[in-house]
Structure 1
Amino acid sequence: MDTTQLLKGVLDLAVLAVVDGEDGYGYDIVRRLRDGGLTEVGDASVYGTLRRLYSAGALTSYVVPSESGPHRKYYGITPTGRAQLKQQRDAWALFSDTVTGILQHREAVTA
Protein backbone atom coordinates (compact mmCIF):
# COMPACT_ATOMS: atom_id res chain seq x y z
CA MET A 1 0.00 0.00 0.00
CA ASP A 2 1.25 3.46 -0.89
CA THR A 3 1.16 5.36 2.40
CA THR A 4 1.99 8.76 0.88
CA GLN A 5 -1.57 10.08 1.07
CA LEU A 6 -2.09 8.64 4.56
CA LEU A 7 1.07 10.36 5.76
CA LYS A 8 -0.04 13.72 4.35
CA GLY A 9 -3.26 13.40 6.32
CA VAL A 10 -1.57 12.75 9.66
CA LEU A 11 1.69 14.69 9.44
CA ASP A 12 0.39 17.64 11.48
CA LEU A 13 -0.75 15.21 14.19
CA ALA A 14 2.56 13.33 14.19
CA VAL A 15 4.67 16.50 14.32
CA LEU A 16 2.60 17.96 17.15
CA ALA A 17 2.87 14.69 19.09
CA VAL A 18 6.65 14.57 18.68
CA VAL A 19 7.10 18.19 19.73
CA ASP A 20 4.66 17.76 22.62
CA GLY A 21 7.04 15.20 24.08
CA GLU A 22 10.09 17.43 23.76
CA ASP A 23 11.07 20.58 21.85
CA GLY A 24 13.23 19.90 18.83
CA TYR A 25 14.92 21.41 15.80
CA GLY A 26 13.92 20.48 12.27
CA TYR A 27 16.18 17.54 11.55
CA ASP A 28 15.73 16.19 15.10
CA ILE A 29 11.97 16.12 14.53
CA VAL A 30 12.44 14.35 11.19
CA ARG A 31 14.68 11.78 12.91
CA ARG A 32 12.18 11.18 15.72
CA LEU A 33 9.36 10.67 13.22
CA ARG A 34 11.46 8.17 11.27
CA ASP A 35 12.57 6.41 14.45
CA GLY A 36 8.88 6.18 15.38
CA GLY A 37 8.14 4.28 12.19
CA LEU A 38 7.35 6.99 9.64
CA THR A 39 10.38 6.03 7.58
CA GLU A 40 8.99 7.50 4.36
CA VAL A 41 8.55 11.03 5.73
CA GLY A 42 10.44 13.60 3.70
CA ASP A 43 12.56 16.38 5.12
CA ALA A 44 10.80 19.03 3.02
CA SER A 45 7.36 17.84 4.14
CA VAL A 46 8.32 18.13 7.80
CA TYR A 47 9.96 21.54 7.40
CA GLY A 48 6.88 22.80 5.53
CA THR A 49 4.62 21.42 8.26
CA LEU A 50 6.72 23.10 10.95
CA ARG A 51 6.45 26.46 9.16
CA ARG A 52 2.70 26.08 8.67
CA LEU A 53 2.07 25.03 12.29
CA TYR A 54 4.23 27.92 13.48
CA SER A 55 2.31 30.40 11.31
CA ALA A 56 -0.97 29.03 12.68
CA GLY A 57 0.18 29.58 16.27
CA ALA A 58 0.41 25.87 17.13
CA LEU A 59 4.18 26.05 17.59
CA THR A 60 6.61 28.54 19.02
CA SER A 61 10.26 28.77 18.06
CA TYR A 62 13.55 29.90 19.54
CA VAL A 63 17.17 29.80 18.42
CA VAL A 64 19.87 27.90 20.30
CA PRO A 65 23.52 28.69 19.53
CA SER A 66 25.67 25.75 18.49
CA GLU A 67 29.44 25.49 18.87
CA SER A 68 29.70 22.79 16.20
CA GLY A 69 27.77 24.48 13.41
CA PRO A 70 24.99 26.93 12.64
CA HIS A 71 22.49 27.96 15.28
CA ARG A 72 19.47 25.68 15.51
CA LYS A 73 15.86 26.80 15.43
CA TYR A 74 13.92 24.79 18.01
CA TYR A 75 10.16 24.34 17.99
CA GLY A 76 7.91 23.90 21.01
CA ILE A 77 4.17 23.41 21.28
CA THR A 78 1.84 26.23 22.35
CA PRO A 79 -1.50 25.95 24.19
CA THR A 80 -3.17 26.32 20.78
CA GLY A 81 -1.03 23.44 19.51
CA ARG A 82 -1.95 21.27 22.51
CA ALA A 83 -5.66 21.90 21.86
CA GLN A 84 -5.14 21.02 18.18
CA LEU A 85 -3.21 17.89 19.16
CA LYS A 86 -6.01 16.74 21.47
CA GLN A 87 -8.67 17.35 18.82
CA GLN A 88 -6.65 15.55 16.15
CA ARG A 89 -5.81 12.63 18.49
CA ASP A 90 -9.51 12.17 19.23
CA ALA A 91 -10.41 12.37 15.54
CA TRP A 92 -7.65 9.89 14.65
CA ALA A 93 -8.79 7.41 17.32
CA LEU A 94 -12.37 7.54 16.04
CA PHE A 95 -11.31 7.24 12.40
CA SER A 96 -8.86 4.42 13.12
CA ASP A 97 -11.43 2.49 15.16
CA THR A 98 -14.00 2.92 12.39
CA VAL A 99 -11.67 1.65 9.65
CA THR A 100 -10.51 -1.24 11.84
CA GLY A 101 -14.13 -2.19 12.47
CA ILE A 102 -14.87 -2.16 8.76
CA LEU A 103 -11.81 -4.29 8.01
CA GLN A 104 -12.58 -6.77 10.77
CA HIS A 105 -16.20 -7.06 9.63
CA ARG A 106 -15.03 -7.72 6.07
CA GLU A 107 -12.64 -10.44 7.32
CA ALA A 108 -15.44 -12.06 9.35
CA VAL A 109 -17.79 -12.05 6.34
CA THR A 110 -15.20 -13.62 4.00
CA ALA A 111 -13.97 -16.22 6.53
Structure 2
Amino acid sequence: MGKQTTEMLKGVLEGIVLAILARRPAYGYEITTWLRDQGFADIAEGTVYALLLRIEQRGLVDVEKVPSEKGPPRKVFTLNAQGAAQLDEFWETWTFLAERLDRLHPDTTQKED
Protein backbone atom coordinates (compact mmCIF):
# COMPACT_ATOMS: atom_id res chain seq x y z
CA MET A 1 0.00 0.00 0.00
CA GLY A 2 1.13 3.48 -0.71
CA LYS A 3 1.43 6.23 1.88
CA GLN A 4 -1.84 7.86 0.82
CA THR A 5 -3.74 4.57 1.11
CA THR A 6 -2.22 3.94 4.54
CA GLU A 7 -3.20 7.41 5.77
CA MET A 8 -6.75 7.13 4.44
CA LEU A 9 -7.12 3.67 5.97
CA LYS A 10 -6.10 5.02 9.39
CA GLY A 11 -9.04 7.39 9.19
CA VAL A 12 -11.63 4.70 8.49
CA LEU A 13 -10.18 1.63 10.20
CA GLU A 14 -12.35 2.03 13.28
CA GLY A 15 -15.47 2.02 11.12
CA ILE A 16 -14.23 -1.02 9.23
CA VAL A 17 -13.58 -2.93 12.47
CA LEU A 18 -16.99 -1.96 13.86
CA ALA A 19 -18.58 -3.17 10.62
CA ILE A 20 -16.75 -6.49 10.94
CA LEU A 21 -17.99 -6.85 14.51
CA ALA A 22 -21.53 -5.99 13.42
CA ARG A 23 -21.47 -9.23 11.41
CA ARG A 24 -20.26 -11.39 14.29
CA PRO A 25 -18.10 -11.39 17.41
CA ALA A 26 -14.39 -11.84 16.72
CA TYR A 27 -10.97 -11.65 18.33
CA GLY A 28 -8.05 -9.54 17.18
CA TYR A 29 -6.23 -12.11 15.07
CA GLU A 30 -9.47 -13.02 13.23
CA ILE A 31 -10.05 -9.36 12.40
CA THR A 32 -6.47 -8.90 11.18
CA THR A 33 -6.73 -12.03 9.04
CA TRP A 34 -10.02 -10.89 7.51
CA LEU A 35 -8.53 -7.48 6.70
CA ARG A 36 -5.50 -9.10 5.04
CA ASP A 37 -7.77 -11.46 3.08
CA GLN A 38 -9.61 -8.38 1.80
CA GLY A 39 -6.39 -6.90 0.44
CA PHE A 40 -5.19 -4.83 3.39
CA ALA A 41 -1.92 -6.76 3.43
CA ASP A 42 0.08 -4.13 5.29
CA ILE A 43 -2.19 -3.99 8.34
CA ALA A 44 -0.10 -4.72 11.40
CA GLU A 45 -1.59 -6.84 14.17
CA GLY A 46 -0.48 -4.19 16.64
CA THR A 47 -2.57 -1.58 14.84
CA VAL A 48 -5.70 -3.70 15.15
CA TYR A 49 -5.04 -4.57 18.81
CA ALA A 50 -4.47 -0.90 19.70
CA LEU A 51 -7.72 0.03 17.96
CA LEU A 52 -9.61 -2.75 19.77
CA LEU A 53 -8.28 -1.47 23.09
CA ARG A 54 -9.46 2.06 22.24
CA ILE A 55 -12.97 0.98 21.23
CA GLU A 56 -13.17 -1.20 24.36
CA GLN A 57 -12.17 1.78 26.55
CA ARG A 58 -14.80 3.93 24.81
CA GLY A 59 -17.47 1.33 25.59
CA LEU A 60 -18.27 0.44 21.97
CA VAL A 61 -17.80 -3.30 22.44
CA ASP A 62 -18.39 -5.96 25.03
CA VAL A 63 -15.47 -8.28 25.73
CA GLU A 64 -15.50 -11.90 26.79
CA LYS A 65 -12.41 -13.93 27.58
CA VAL A 66 -12.66 -17.31 25.88
CA PRO A 67 -10.25 -20.18 26.61
CA SER A 68 -7.76 -20.89 23.84
CA GLU A 69 -6.15 -24.21 23.01
CA LYS A 70 -2.95 -22.32 22.24
CA GLY A 71 -1.91 -19.97 25.01
CA PRO A 72 -3.81 -17.47 27.12
CA PRO A 73 -7.56 -16.83 26.79
CA ARG A 74 -8.67 -14.82 23.77
CA LYS A 75 -10.58 -11.57 24.10
CA VAL A 76 -13.66 -11.89 21.90
CA PHE A 77 -15.19 -8.54 20.98
CA THR A 78 -18.93 -8.08 20.40
CA LEU A 79 -20.46 -4.88 19.10
CA ASN A 80 -22.87 -3.43 21.67
CA ALA A 81 -25.63 -0.81 21.31
CA GLN A 82 -23.22 2.11 21.75
CA GLY A 83 -20.91 0.60 19.11
CA ALA A 84 -23.84 0.06 16.74
CA ALA A 85 -24.78 3.73 17.11
CA GLN A 86 -21.17 4.71 16.38
CA LEU A 87 -21.21 2.46 13.31
CA ASP A 88 -24.44 4.08 12.09
CA GLU A 89 -22.77 7.48 12.43
CA PHE A 90 -19.74 6.18 10.53
CA TRP A 91 -21.94 5.01 7.62
CA GLU A 92 -23.78 8.35 7.54
CA THR A 93 -20.46 10.20 7.39
CA TRP A 94 -19.09 7.77 4.80
CA THR A 95 -22.15 8.25 2.57
CA PHE A 96 -21.95 12.04 2.90
CA LEU A 97 -18.26 12.09 1.95
CA ALA A 98 -18.57 9.52 -0.85
CA GLU A 99 -21.39 11.47 -2.50
CA ARG A 100 -19.37 14.69 -2.45
CA LEU A 101 -16.20 12.99 -3.68
CA ASP A 102 -18.13 11.40 -6.54
CA ARG A 103 -19.20 14.89 -7.62
CA LEU A 104 -15.55 15.97 -7.77
CA HIS A 105 -14.21 12.93 -9.61
CA PRO A 106 -13.37 13.80 -13.24
CA ASP A 107 -14.83 10.53 -14.58
CA THR A 108 -18.24 11.07 -13.03
CA THR A 109 -21.20 11.58 -15.33
CA GLN A 110 -22.93 13.99 -12.96
CA LYS A 111 -22.62 17.64 -13.93
CA GLU A 112 -22.95 20.55 -11.54
CA ASP A 113 -26.05 22.64 -11.94
Fold in common (TM above 0.5): yes
**Greater displacement, 42-51 / 95-104:** 95-104
TM-aligned CA deviation for residue 68 of structure 1: 3.4
Moved over 3 A (4+): 104-109
CA contact 1:18–1:33 (8 Å) conserved in 2: no
Counterpart residue number, 2:6: 4
Gaps of 5+ in 2: none
TM-aligned CA deviation for residue 9 of structure 1: 0.4
Identity %: 33
CA distance in 1, matches of 2:50, 2:31: 12
* Partner SS, residue 105 of structure 2: helix
Aligned-pair RMSD on alpha carbons? 2.1
TM-aligned CA deviation for residue 34 of structure 1: 1.8
How far does the alpha carbon of each residue in 1:29-68 deviate from its partner, in whole angstroms, 9 at most, with x for none? 1111222232222211111110000000101101111223
Counterpart residue number, 2:35: 33
Counterpart residue number, 2:71: 69
CA distance in 2, matches of 1:106, 1:22: 35
Whether 2:102 is the aligned partner of 1:100: answer yes
Q: Given the superposition, is the C-alpha separation of residues 37 and 93 from structure 1 closer, same or farther in structure 2, using an over 3 Å criterion?
A: farther
Counterpart residue number, 1:49: 51
* Partner SS, residue 40 of structure 1: coil
What letter corresponds to residue 29 of structure 1 in structure 2? I
**Greater displacement, 11-20 / 91-100:** 91-100
Q: Given the superposition, is the C-alpha separation of residues 68 and 45 from structure 1 closer, same or farther in structure 2, using an over 3 Å criterion?
A: closer
TM-aligned CA deviation for residue 3 of structure 1: 0.6
**Greater displacement, 7-16 / 29-38:** 29-38
TM-score (norm 2): 0.85
- Greater fraction helix: 1
Gaps of 5+ in 1: none
TM-score (norm 1): 0.87
